[in-house]
């Protein structure tokens, strides 16, 4: 008996080797947490094995043939599967994969929380950019501005509204909590613009330092916010971007573009080349002014091959339908997950081991539950031990 138990534990360690913790929805069940339905409108929502980043399945979403457009997918309303997570964090991450051969001009997602009368329909301001081209990208869903219901509410849903400018196909997995512990802070704009400028040939854009933030005032269209000359920028930026996947920042829409849309891309410029990301984040929508955290996934771009290249710059490209003013603050790099790195400091060591030991037996939602099965036990301990030393030194 004991033998098979340990064998199962060991297999578990290998299966979850790169799983990030604190996953809300993994899309393993047939009903996909309620999102699976078929109303005969040409949309297909199905359990799939493409773009799997946790477990064995993902959720496939296919737009009707030859048509873009918008559709809501409603969650199953299982309060206890959702609310305890949002009580910890209202910032979420979701992996979204576009299969080979697909691309669309634009695509994004609206998000709402929904409960019984008294709570009702609460929709986040603005939309979240989704990947347009083949590959897996992680998107950040910021629901901080939305209230949570009374914990005893009868049902509680997270609804996702998918939109695209042409027929699209996406595979979603690992809806999980954003972990502030994984942030490496790069630009806080405490005293100045930290090297950001508009270059010499651009017109219709100004940058200014306002109250510890970087303010971009654009007349509209596409503009670069350059991160200085080759000797500029943050000294340890290269080391950070080499250990991360996402650039995260707080964006305030001070004055919304009259045409109702604004978005952002990025490029990491180093001796390795101009590494421009193919992911587009939405930053403004409608006539609303609001603040939220956005993320730009830069997987796939050329990164410097050492922590101390001669230069490493983070350039941001903003685009809007007409004049727009935004404030940018707290640009940080979100660390890539290392299996067993419970405290997300980039190294699997005693601190991670001690956290698992101190929380042993806990059934709480905690990073110490490395394999995300809602109990901290020997499987989590073994993952830490098997990966001991990873990322250190």
Question: Contact with Ca ion (CB under 5 A): which of 22, 24, 34, 54?
Answer: 54
Residue 285 or 371 having the CB closest to Ca ion: 371
Residue 23 or 225 having the CB closest to Ca ion: 23
Residue 54 or 176 having the CB closest to Ca ion: 54
The rounded distance, in Å, linking the Cα atoms of 123 and 235 is: 40
Count CB-CB contacts under 10 A for residue 357: 14
The rounded distance, in Å, linking the Cα atoms of 78 and 80 is: 6
Question: Contact with Ca ion (CB under 5 A): which of 22, 26, 179, 319?
Answer: 26
Residue 307 or 377 having the CB closest to Ca ion: 377
Residues whose CB falls within 8 Å of the CB of residue 297, separated by 6 or more in sequence, listed in order: 131, 137, 138, 139, 245, 246, 277, 279
42 binds Ca ion (CB under 5 A): no
Least distance to Ca ion from the beta carbon of 309, Å? Answer: 26
55-84 mask for Ca ion (x: CB under 5 A)?
x-----------------------------
Confirm if 119 and 153 have CB atoms less than 8 A apart.
yes
Q: How far is CA 298 from CA 164, 185, 266, in A?
A: 21, 16, 8
352 binds Ca ion (CB under 5 A): yes
Residue 141 or 207 having the CB closest to Ca ion: 141
Q: Quick one: CA torsion of 261, 102, 18, 14, rounded to 10 degrees?
A: 160
95 binds Ca ion (CB under 5 A): no
Residue 130 or 344 having the CB closest to Ca ion: 344
Residue 329 or 352 having the CB closest to Ca ion: 352
Q: Quote the radius of gyration of the chain (alpha carbons, Å).
A: 21
Question: Contact with Ca ion (CB under 5 A): which of 309, 373, 385, 386?
Answer: 373
Least distance to Ca ion from the beta carbon of 387, Å? Answer: 10
Question: Contact with Ca ion (CB under 5 A): which of 86, 132, 369, 384?
Answer: 369
167-206 mask for Ca ion (x: CB under 5 A)?
------x---------------------------------
The rounded distance, in Å, linking the Cα atoms of 24 and 152 is: 19
Stretch that binds Ca ion, among 46-54, 126-134, 136-144, 237-245 (CB under 5 A): 46-54
Residue 250 or 378 having the CB closest to Ca ion: 378
Least distance to Ca ion from the beta carbon of 69, Å? Answer: 26
Stretch that binds Ca ion, among 94-102, 190-198, 313-321, 338-346 (CB under 5 A): 338-346
Place of tokens 């040409």: 42
Of residues 207-236, those binding Ca ion (CB under 5 A): none
343 binds Ca ion (CB under 5 A): yes
Which residues, listed in sequence order, are joined to residue 296 by a DSSP beta bridge?
A: 247
Residues written for the chain:
393
Q: How far is CA 27 from CA 16, 49, 53, 86, in A?
A: 16, 10, 10, 18
329 binds Ca ion (CB under 5 A): no
Residue 185 or 259 having the CB closest to Ca ion: 185
Residues whose CB falls within 8 Å of the CB of residue 363, separated by 6 or more in sequence, listed in order: 374, 375, 376
Confirm if 123 and 37 have CB atoms less than 8 A apart.
no
Confirm if 213 and 329 have CB atoms less than 8 A apart.
yes
Residues that bind Ca ion (CB under 5 A): 26-27, 54-55, 173, 341, 343, 345, 347, 352, 369, 371, 373, 380
């Amino acid at each position: 008996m004991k033998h098979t138990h340990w064998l199962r534990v060991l297999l578990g360690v290998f299966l979850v080797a790169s799983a990030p913790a604190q996953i809300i929805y993994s899309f393993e069940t047939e009903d996909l947490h309620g999102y699976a339905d078929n109303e005969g409108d040409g949309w297909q929502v199905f359990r799939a094995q493409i773009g799997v980043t946790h477990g064995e399945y993902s959720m496939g979403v296919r737009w009707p043939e030859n048509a873009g457009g918008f559709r809501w997918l409603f969650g199953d309303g299982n309060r206890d599967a959702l609310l305890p997570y949002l009580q910890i964090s209202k910032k979420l991450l979701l992996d979204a994969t576009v299969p080979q051969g697909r691309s669309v001009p634009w695509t994004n997602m609206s998000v709402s929380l929904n409960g019984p009368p008294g709570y009702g329909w609460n929709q986040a301001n603005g939309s979240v950019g989704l990947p347009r081209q083949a590959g897996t990208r992680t998107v950040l869903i910021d629901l901080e501005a939305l209230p949570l219901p009374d914990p005893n509410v009868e049902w509680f849903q997270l609804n996702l509204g998918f939109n695209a400018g042409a027929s699209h196909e996406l595979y979603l997995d690992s809806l999980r909590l954003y972990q502030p512990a994984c942030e490496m802070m790069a630009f806080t704009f405490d005293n100045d613009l930290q090297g950001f400028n508009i270059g010499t040939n651009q017109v219709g854009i100004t940058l200014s330092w306002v109250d510890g933030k970087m303010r971009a005032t654009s007349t509209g269209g596409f503009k670069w916010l350059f991160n200085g000359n080759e000797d500029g920028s943050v000294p340890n930026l290269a080391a950070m971007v080499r250990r991360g996947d996402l650039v995260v920042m707080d964006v305030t829409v001070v004055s919304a573009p009259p045409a109702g849309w604004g978005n952002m891309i990025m490029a990491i410029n180093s001796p390795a080349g101009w590494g421009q990301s193919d992911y587009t984040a939405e930053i403004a929508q409608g006539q609303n002014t609001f603040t939220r955290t956005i993320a730009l996934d830069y997987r796939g771009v050329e990164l410097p091959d050492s922590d101390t290249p001669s230069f490493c710059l983070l350039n941001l490209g903003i685009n809007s339908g007409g004049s727009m003013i935004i404030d940018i603050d707290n640009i940080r790099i979100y660390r890539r997950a290392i299996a067993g790195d419970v405290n997300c400091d980039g190294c699997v060591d005693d601190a991670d081991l001690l956290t698992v030991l101190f929380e042993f037996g806990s059934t709480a939602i905690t990073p110490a539950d490395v394999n995300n099965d809602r109990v901290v036990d020997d499987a989590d301990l073994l993952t830490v031990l098997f990966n001991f030393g990873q990322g250190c030194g």
